[in-house]
Amino acid sequence: MRNVLKPSGHWLLHVIVVLSFCFSATVFSQEAETSAEAGTTSAETISANVSNEANSQPEFDSLVKELTQGSLPARAQTAKKLAALKDERVAKIIGALQQGTLYATKDENPLVAIADEAGNYTNAISGEKIIGDTEELKRVPINNSMRSQLRTLLAQLNLTHQDATIRLDAVNRMIADGIDEDSISLLQELQKSEANDGVRKAIDSAVALFNLHSNDQQLRLGAIEVLKDSLQQEVRTALSEVASNDTDEKVKIHAQLAIKAIDSSIAKYRFAENIFFGLSLGSVLLLSAIGLSITFGVMGVINMAHGELMMIGAYVTWVVQQVFPNQIAYSLAIAIPAAFIVAGLVGIAIERGVIRFLYGRPLETLLATFGISLILQQAARSIFSPLNRAVELPVWMSGSLQINPVFSITYNRLYILIFGLLVFFALLVILKKTTLGLKVRAVSQNRAMARAVGVRANWVDAMTFGLGSGIAGIAGVALSQLTNVGPNLGQAYIIDSFMVVVFGGVGNLWGTLVGAMGLGIINKFLEPYAGAVLAKVLVLVLLILFIQKRPKGIFPQKGRAAAD
Amino acid sequence: MKLKKIAKHVGALGIACGLTIASFSAAAADTIKVGVLHSLSGTMAISETTLKDTMLMLIEEQNKKGGLLGKKLEAVVVDPASNWPLFAEKTRELLTKDKVAAIFGCWTSVSRKSVLPVIEELNGVLFYPVQYEGEESSRNVFYTGAAPNQQAIPAVDYLMNEVKVKRWVLAGTDYVYPRTTNKILEAYLKAKGVKQEDIMINYTPFGHSDWQNIVSDIKRFGSAGKKTAVVSTINGDANVPFYRELGNQKVTAEDIPVVAFSVGEEELSGIDTKPLVGHLAAWNYFMSEENAANAAFIKQWKAFIKNPKRVTNDPMEAHYIGFNMWVKAVQKAGTTDTDKVVDAIIGIEAPNLTGGVSKMLPNHHITKPVLIGEIQEDGQFLTVSKTDNLVPGDAWSDYLEGSKDLESDWIKLKCGNYNTKTKKCLGAAAQ
């Protein structure tokens, strides 16, 4: 059963947004407009269910106001009364309360408002925009028990919603809450009229779940037949109960067979899930190692400050979000080139200021760059404070692509995977197809000969180091979407980056790709058995053994370039 | 030749790493010195810098009131740089060179363990403000943070009784505090009739950032038809990616609530709170508590730090209580002499910031209320449960073998680990 929750058009748009990142800023402005349109369309679908009729019944008004005041249990009761009114505005108000976007003033006759993502308020009762002073509006507080009560209420209200995805969510919510006598009659009625395939299937399994407990053996067998393809957790739980407790042998056997079929397809999806987790971890490793594979792999500089260059990229993301607080959705598109430039310039400064005096002396370079990394960390502490900075996740980066109840792919991981591969191939093109790339390769293979034919080796060194550092900055932007942005961000990734480069083969970009993905997948397959801590240890041990066997990594350099 | 150069570099590095804030030791003899031992650089600076500022504020406030015993208080700030052995060295420096009357400091348990032998040898006083795993009671240390029975156990009780949780995930970072706390919780849950198969324990390395399959496991564990909750002892930095992954995999607080013991207002101010809304935390203080003392404290803090956006948190309150208790004890004893202060402080009461009065107990722990709060979008907590009475801190857990027979009482027994079965004091060697 495929429950694709997001319409495919929307999904494609997500991809476009990501793709836009690899283009320059001029292209960006056009792309931004397209995604801006996308933003408004989704906002419209949400507000579509609000009726703008101004026939405000007094009861409705007073209940909405009551909803924002008094004790939590009393307000939950109010919400129930409100839901019973069958007013079209109720779903939106309860939805807003559940999501924490319902605001109200704190006085006798409160003004109740719903906030949207852009920070605009609309009057919850009249549906009019609130213009002017919104200082007095405070978020209506809510706790977990009320949130789940509202969720159940909302599911019942949304069963007849015009948007199929919302109807599907509502049915699934009812399944999760348990089907009882009240809800079954409602569902059976809808079963006849439902036009959407996905929603009808969900209703079928809801009805079947209820029938599992009927007294009629035929009905129970029929229910098992319906449920045997479902991957929903509630279904498996219910079936296993039947398989062990049912009074009828035949029903028991059928249930057991159904469970077996469900389990084998769950196992398949878990395998796919593990592969994705591995690739996603690999893409993070790839992003953090790829800059290093240039500075360390191509130039031979052991740059211990590589992690701090990523940290700079992450801070750039934060600064960009501070400068454009209302444009979170596009902040990454600005942050990526900005981070590349800032980290690249810092890299060039490090190369010109320190490293160029130390070429050919790896130990000194190691110590000097380690010192630089400490200086950069403390500088971040002094400038941005030792506290972590909050980088917001744009809406299109949060959530997940639900393929079926046991397999979903989170968007931020998916985009970072795509982004990592794009950066990789862009770099490959730069090194293989551009003049700069040609000069970089020439200098790294034979410095004296390159200079003899007129290559400015110093300039190439600075540019190469700048390129590697700039890519570290870009990796920082990606990391800001996954983890903390703070002074210690770089430390966490420096070891992993070196590990990947050494494993893949120093000086070989493809090796970095294969190494990163390989380590990611190995790690994720070990983790379920060994636990996160031991998995890390095992990966390190395997790596050491591998290096013993093949000291030059998966793809060793061949020919004269390999001579050291 | 080359070796020499390397040695030079290493030396330079050493100096850079050990860079400390110069301790301003004034010559004036008519001051009472107070040591502030919190990391201002390195990984723990994120949490500890705030406590240093809190101490400076409290000392300034006390000086405005006329100081202590007619003398001015003087803060001696040192930076142990998140380096555990350096904590011991700096303690020695504070006690022998600066001759401080008391030290307020440490955050991690390992830093406290590092200070412990030095503070006992040189007979100093340490006030430790952070929630910890218990299983310790030193004559020279006063634990003003929560013991497990003041944070972890009440949180589990709340989930069990109010939220009706039946399955438990104990997730933590792999070090002493989560390991000990989870051992206590596991024993407690089993004592309450929870079966082994309904408990899932998971440890991750420091700063773990790839939570995909762990969250996916938790989700699967939680879909067995029984209400599931996560009890999280995940340390600071790993929390952001953890909550983000929960949010992205659509694990909401209504389905699987996470109760955390290391996520407070300060940590929340550094993260995007959207994926955390509704998840829980257990502390002895929330900034959102409404009472006059707390309002005054918040106002004073914002003025002192010159930033209206800064928040207050639980360890800050612990320092507030600890400092006021120490001041009262010194006034009662009429001297800052360690032996006299240690005796005088037992039974001293000082107001806490949640509307009650905390008391120093003979086991060197204090009484505190336990609050459970739900995280709100603005990074504050909505209190959903608060104990009616103050809970006395218990140094030795009643749920662990080998620990349940131990008792700490520095007045009657003069012992921090008295075995009630063998009627023997195990002494410092057993610490």
- Residue A124 is given by DSSP the state T
Verify whether the Cβ–Cβ distance B163 to A145 is below 8 Å. Answer: yes
Q: Which residues of A touch B203 (CB under 8 A)?
A: 531-533
Does B29 contact chain A (CB < 8 Å)? Answer: no
Q: What b-and-e string marks burial along A340-352, b requiring 16 or more CB atoms within 10 Å of the CB?
A: bebbbebbbebbe
Q: Which two tokens stand for residue B119?
A: 């503070």
Count of alpha carbons within 13 Å of B187, Cβ hemisphere only?
A: 15
Say if residues B97 and B115 touch (Cβ distance below 8 Å): no
Question: How many Cβ atoms from other residues are within 10 Å of residue A448's Cβ?
Answer: 8
Counting every residue written for chain B, the total comes to 431
User: Could you give the 3-state DSSP secondary structure of residue A401?
Assistant: strand
The Cα of A237 is separated from the nearest Cα of chain B by a number of Å equal to 6
User: Could you give the 3-state DSSP secondary structure of residue A517?
Assistant: helix
Nearest-by-CA chain B residue for A367: B9
Q: Which residues of B touch A527 (CB under 8 A)?
A: 213-214
Q: Which residues of A touch B49 (CB under 8 A)?
A: 386
Which of A390, A411, A536 is nearest residue B271 as measured by Cβ atoms?
A390
Query: How far apart, in Å, are the Cα atoms of A224 and each of A197, A207, A257?
Result: 20, 11, 10
The Cα of B9 is separated from the nearest Cα of chain A by a number of Å equal to 7
Q: Which two tokens stand for residue A319?
A: 């600064």
Closest CA to A353 of A510, A461, A244, A233: A461
- Residue A240 has phi, psi (to 5 degrees) of -65, -30
pLDDT of residue A325: 86
Q: Which residues of B touch A486 (CB under 8 A)?
A: 46, 237, 270
pLDDT digits (tens, 9 = 90+) for A525-536: 998 888 888 888
> Over chain A, what is the mean pLDDT?
82
pLDDT of residue B429: 53
Contacts for A384 with CB less than 8 Å, ≥ 6 apart: A315, A318, A487
CA B319, CA B127: separation in Å to the nearest integer?
8
User: Could you give the 3-state DSSP secondary structure of residue A352?
Assistant: helix
Nearest-by-CA chain A residue for B258: A144
Of the two residues A471 and A391, the one the predictor is more confident about is A471
Q: What percentage of chain A has pLDDT greater than the value 70?
A: 89
CA B205, CA B263: separation in Å to the nearest integer?
17
- Determine the Cα angle at B88 with ends B83 and B90, to 5°: 85
pLDDT digits (tens, 9 = 90+) for A217-240: 888 888 888 888 888 888 888 888
Verify whether the Cβ–Cβ distance B205 to A533 is below 8 Å. Answer: yes
Of the two residues B223 and A557, the one the predictor is more confident about is B223
pLDDT of residue A19: 39
CA A551, CA A2: separation in Å to the nearest integer?
47
Mean pLDDT of A357-377: 91
pLDDT of residue A20: 39
pLDDT of residue B338: 94
CA B89, CA B223: separation in Å to the nearest integer?
51
Nearest-by-CA chain A residue for B250: A399
Residue with tokens 């397959």: A525
* ipTM of predicted complex: 0.74
Say if residues A286 and A420 touch (Cβ distance below 8 Å): yes
CA A218, CA A199: separation in Å to the nearest integer?
25
- SS3 string, chain B, reads CHHHHHHHHHHHHHHHHCCCCCCCCCCCCCEEEEEEECCCCCCCHHHHHHHHHHHHHHHHHHHHCCCECCEEEEEEEECCCCCHHHHHHHHHHHHHHCCCCEEEECCCHHHHHHHHHHHHHCCCCEEECCCCCCCCCCCCEEECCCCHHHCHHHHHHHHHHCCCCCEEEEEEECCHHHHHHHHHHHHHHHHCCCCHHHEEEEEECCCCCCCHHHHHHHHHHCCCCCCEEEEEECCHHHHHHHHHHHHHCCCCCCCCCEEECCCCHHHHCCCCCHHHCCCEEEECCCCCCCCHHHHHHHHHHHHHHCCCCCCCCHHHHHHHHHHHHHHHHHHHHCCCCHHHHHHHHCCCEEECCCCCEEEECCCCEEEECCEEEEECCCCCEEEEEECCCCEECCCCCCCCCCCCCEEEECCCCCEEEEECCCCEECCHHHC
pLDDT digits (tens, 9 = 90+) for B328-342: 999 999 999 999 999
pLDDT at A35 over 90: no
- Residue A114 is given by DSSP the state E
pLDDT digits (tens, 9 = 90+) for A321-355: 999 888 888 899 999 999 999 999 999 999 999 99
Of the two residues A386 and B381, the one the predictor is more confident about is B381
pLDDT digits (tens, 9 = 90+) for A63-108: 888 888 777 778 888 888 888 877 778 888 888 888 878 888 877 7
CA gyration radius, chain A: 29
pLDDT at A561 over 70: no
- Could you tell me the pLDDT band of residue A131, with boundaries at 50, 70 and 90? confident
Say if residues A98 and A150 touch (Cβ distance below 8 Å): yes
CA B65, CA B68: separation in Å to the nearest integer?
9
Does B53 contact chain A (CB < 8 Å)? Answer: no
User: Could you give the 3-state DSSP secondary structure of residue A386?
Assistant: coil
* Ranges in chain B, pLDDT < 50: 1-3, 6-7, 10-28
Query: How far apart, in Å, are the Cα atoms of B310 and each of B85, B254, B266, B299?
Result: 31, 30, 8, 10
pLDDT of residue B2: 47
Say if residues A70 and A107 touch (Cβ distance below 8 Å): no
CA B240, CA B248: separation in Å to the nearest integer?
12
CA B343, CA B359: separation in Å to the nearest integer?
14
Say if residues B325 and B104 touch (Cβ distance below 8 Å): no
Verify whether the Cβ–Cβ distance A412 to B45 is below 8 Å. Answer: no
CA gyration radius, chain B: 22
Does B429 contact chain A (CB < 8 Å)? Answer: no
Closest CA to A211 of A202, A220, A203: A220
The Cα of B341 is separated from the nearest Cα of chain A by a number of Å equal to 35
Q: Which residues of A touch B163 (CB under 8 A)?
A: 144-145
Of the two residues A231 and A282, the one the predictor is more confident about is A282
Which of A143, A389, A400 is nearest residue B270 as measured by Cβ atoms?
A389
pLDDT of residue B305: 93
Q: Strand B367-368 vs strand B391-392: parallel, antiparallel, or unpaired?
A: antiparallel
Q: Which of A403, A483, A527 to mutate to test the interface with B (most CBs of B within 10 A)?
A: A483
- Determine the Cα angle at A87 with ends A84 and A92, to 5°: 100
Does B9 contact chain A (CB < 8 Å)? Answer: yes
pLDDT of residue B181: 92
Nearest-by-CA chain B residue for A375: B16
pLDDT digits (tens, 9 = 90+) for B152-205: 999 999 999 988 999 999 999 988 889 999 999 999 999 999 999 999 999 998
pLDDT of residue B26: 41
- Could you tell me the pLDDT band of residue A149, with boundaries at 50, 70 and 90? confident
pLDDT digits (tens, 9 = 90+) for A456-486: 988 999 999 999 999 999 999 999 988 888 8
- Where does A399-443 show beta strands of DSSP type E? 400-404, 407-410
Of the two residues B221 and A558, the one the predictor is more confident about is B221
Verify whether the Cβ–Cβ distance A387 to B269 is below 8 Å. Answer: yes
Of chain B residues 328-387, which have a CB less than 8 A from chain A?
374, 376-378, 382, 384
CA B406, CA B431: separation in Å to the nearest integer?
12
CA A188, CA A193: separation in Å to the nearest integer?
9
Of the two residues B244 and A371, the one the predictor is more confident about is A371
pLDDT digits (tens, 9 = 90+) for A189-214: 888 888 888 888 888 888 888 888 88
Q: Which two tokens stand for residue A488?
A: 């210690």
Say if residues B297 and B285 touch (Cβ distance below 8 Å): no
pLDDT of residue A17: 41
pLDDT of residue B240: 82
Verify whether the Cβ–Cβ distance A484 to B10 is below 8 Å. Answer: no
Say if residues B366 and B144 touch (Cβ distance below 8 Å): yes
Verify whether the Cβ–Cβ distance B224 to A237 is below 8 Å. Answer: yes
Q: Which residues of B touch A274 (CB under 8 A)?
A: 213
Say if residues A509 and A431 touch (Cβ distance below 8 Å): yes
